[in-house]
Amino acid sequence: MDKQTFLLAMYKEQCDQARQHESQRQQGATLVLALCSAMTVFAGATAAWASSRSGSLAFTIPLLGAGIFICLLGVFGRRFSLKHYERSRLHVARATIYREDLEKLYPGVGDLRTKMDKRHADEWLERRGGRLTWVIKASLFRYWISLHSFIILWGAALVVVSLALHISPARKFIADILRA
């Protein structure tokens, strides 16, 4: 096997591994969102059922439990996402080394890549009248992390609401609304 074939095979392998981690991160986020949604619906239905059966504030327990579970799910999702991002970056760094060695075999190829990146950025900005430069500079992994942060906040909101309903002077009014 010659050097070029070896470098191409190793470059492709590292790119495939990076893509695999990105795919797993997306699947993990989808699973976390689905579980969060299911838990929210389940807690709401259980709370309504408990309120109609007992007429008391037993509905706060499912909301509290769901809120805590969703917070933990969000924390897990953040960690899962960060780990896959770290592994993806590892494979991208490895692929970069192989690509740089390939570019040494074909001088000028690296300049083409730089030229294409600049053209993309220039066209993006030109179509938007020079606005939205932050989009080009934004790190995509921060959006993934923000998604899980939102899930943590949603769980915390459920905890706060369940506790507020339990200790609030207006709890009888709220219980009557849920029973209606």
- Prediction pTM value: 0.79
- State the average pLDDT over residues 72-90: 96
With 70 as the cut, is the pLDDT of residue 170 above it?
Answer: no
- Domain containing 22 equals 3-179
36-76 residue pLDDT tens: 999 999 888 887 777 666 655 666 788 888 999 999 999 99
CB 29 within 8 A of CB 77: yes
Of the pLDDT bands very low, low, confident and very high (cuts 50, 70, 90), residue 113 is: confident
The residue type found at 108 is: G
**Inter-CA distances, 128 with 37, 83, 121, 132, 143, Å:** 36, 34, 11, 7, 22
How many separate domains does the chain show? 1
pLDDT value for 171: 63
Alpha helices in 55-139 (DSSP H): 60-105, 109-127, 133-137
